């Protein structure tokens, strides 16, 4: 089972509920491997990996990095310097703040945004203030355009997709975050890479998420589950819909949709 993190596995305050932890233990007891895929950096996923006692690789940066449970980097797909430069120029021209994740660090040129504290709480490490991104332009894992204006960021998302077509993926992970990653760093590629690493067919893999960037993994997995607070578009793309993350939707999905199928193997693929 491959789970998104923010809006899916954790509460809005980024904590795991007792029910979510128990669901992880139930999956392990049933012989179902649990892993994570997120737009977060690997460093920002480490505490959850430890809390859930993950035994198989996980994926950071929307699948740009595949990482072993002990934190060892297995593979990485980074942005080209050209694509990164174009995205930075676009964001700055539209008044969108820019964050860059590279070298296992988080770089920014302005610490005044209220989203800085939110991200610091999410990833559990501090940003590095720089004057520009020239020093890391050739090894960026993920760029993030940050704005408190959802409509503006939606417009910039469309502009970025047209500008970077074939060079990078540009998709919002939240209404206020627009992620730009390597063209092979989306959650569909992540599920395929994780399945290949573990040796499990995608048809025997379940996925769960809440945002538009999760739909790429819905398209490749054997079973897909959307969170109850997701948009109509996301829920329509899934096989099942569970409760919201504020109502233990992850744990309920495990109980309703995963464990009964695990008990009824082999041969179960799509519902």
Reported as a pLDDT band with limits 50, 70 and 90, residue 4 is very high
CB atoms within 10 A of CB 31: 9
| pLDDT tens figures, 118-167 | 999 999 999 999 999 999 999 999 999 999 999 999 999 999 999 999 99
Cβ atoms 246, 15 nearer than 8 A: no
What pairs with residue 208 in β-bridges?
A: 3, 225
Q: How far apart are alpha carbons 196 and 202 in whole angstroms? A: 9
Cβ atoms 138, 22 nearer than 8 A: no
| pLDDT tens figures, 13-24 | 999 999 999 999
Mean pLDDT for the chain?
94
User: What pLDDT sits at residue 264?
Assistant: 81
pTM of the entire predicted model: 0.86
Reported as a pLDDT band with limits 50, 70 and 90, residue 269 is very low
Reported as a pLDDT band with limits 50, 70 and 90, residue 268 is very low
Reported as a pLDDT band with limits 50, 70 and 90, residue 266 is low
Q: In what order do the strands lie in the sheet with 223-226?
A: 35-36, 2-3, 206-209, 223-226, 240-241
Which domains can be identified in the chain, with CATH numbers? 2-76+186-262 (3.40.50.1000), 81-181 (3.30.1240.10)
200 pLDDT more than 60:
yes
267 pLDDT more than 80:
no
């Amino acid at each position: 089972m491959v789970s998104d993190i923010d809006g899916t596995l954790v509460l809005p305050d980024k904590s795991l509920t007792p029910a979510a932890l128990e669901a992880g233990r139930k999956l392990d007891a049933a012989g179902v491997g649990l892993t994570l895929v997120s737009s977060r950096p690997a460093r920002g996923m480490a505490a959850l990996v430890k809390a859930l006692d993950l035994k198989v690789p996980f994926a950071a940066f929307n699948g740009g990095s595949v990482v072993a449970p002990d934190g060892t980097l297995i593979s990485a797909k980074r942005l080209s310097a050209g694509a990164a430069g174009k995205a930075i120029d676009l964001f700055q021209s539209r008044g969108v703040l820019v964050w860059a994740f590279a070298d296992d660090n988080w770089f920014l040129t302005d610490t005044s945004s209220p989203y800085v504290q939110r991200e610091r709480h999410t990833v559990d490490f501090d940003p590095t203030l720089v004057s520009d991104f020239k020093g890391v332009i050739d090894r960026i894992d993920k760029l993030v355009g940050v704005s408190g204006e959802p409509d503006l960021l939606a417009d910039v998302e469309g502009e970025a997709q047209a500008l970077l077509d074939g060079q990078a993926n540009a998709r919002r992970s939240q209404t206020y975050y627009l992620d730009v990653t390597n063209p092979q760093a989306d959650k569909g590629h992540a599920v395929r890479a994780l399945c290949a690493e573990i040796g499990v067919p995608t048809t025997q893999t379940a996925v769960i998420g809440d945002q538009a960037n999760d739909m790429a993994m819905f398209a490749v997995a054997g079973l897909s589950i959307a969170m109850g607070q997701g948009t109509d578009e996301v829920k329509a793309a899934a096989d099942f819909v569970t409760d919201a993350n504020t109502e233990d939707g992850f744990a309920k999905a495990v109980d309703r949709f995963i464990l009964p199928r695990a008990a009824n193997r082999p041969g179960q693929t799509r519902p």
